[in-house]
Amino acid sequence: MTALTKADLAERLFEELGLNKREAKEMVEMFFEEIRHSLESNIPVKLSGFGNFDLRDKSERPGRNPKTGEEIPITARRVVTFRPGQKLKQRVEAYAGTKQ
C-alpha cells in the first residue's frame, strides 16, 4: 500500500467537498502550516479523534559519532512527540486483529 500524501488529501477535498484543485491544495498546506506554527510557538496541538502533538525540551547529553566513535555532545533541543488518541489507538489495534 502506498502512503497517504498531501496530494491525496487535496484530491479528497476536491471529490468530497467540491473545493477546486487550487483551494484544496491551499487548504491542505494551511492545515499543516497552522499546526507547525503552533508547535514552533511551543503550543501543543490537540486534534480530537486523532491525537495530540506535544513538545519536549531535552537537555544536552553525551553522544558519539557512530562512524568514528568520537564523543560529541548532543545539544539541548526541543522535539515534537505524537500521542495517538484513544479512538485512533483502538482503530489501529483492530487492524492488527483482522490481520491475524
Partner 1 sequence: MALTKSELIERIAARQTQLSPRDVELAVKTMIEEMANALADGGRIEIRGFGSFSLHFRAPRVGRNPKTGASVELHGKYVPHFKPGKELRERVNLALEEAAEAASSEPSVRTGS
Q: Which is nearer to partner 1, 46 or 64 (CB)?
A: 46
Q: Residue 61 or 69: which CB sits closer to partner 1?
A: 61
CB of 67 to partner 1, least distance (A): 21
Of 63, 81, 19, nearest to 31 by C-alpha is 19
Q: Determine contact, residues 83/55, Cβ cutoff 8 Å.
A: no
- Of 62 and 96, the one with the shorter C-beta distance to partner 1 is 96
Angstrom distance (rounded) from CA 58 to CA 79: 7
Binding site residues, partner 1, CB under 8 A:
1-6, 8-9, 12-13, 16-17, 19, 23, 26-28, 30-32, 34-36, 38-53, 55, 57, 76-82, 84, 87-89, 91-96, 99
- Residue 52 to residues 29, 38, 62, 80: CA-CA distances in angstroms? 19, 12, 29, 10
Minimum CB distance to partner 1, residue 29 (Å): 9
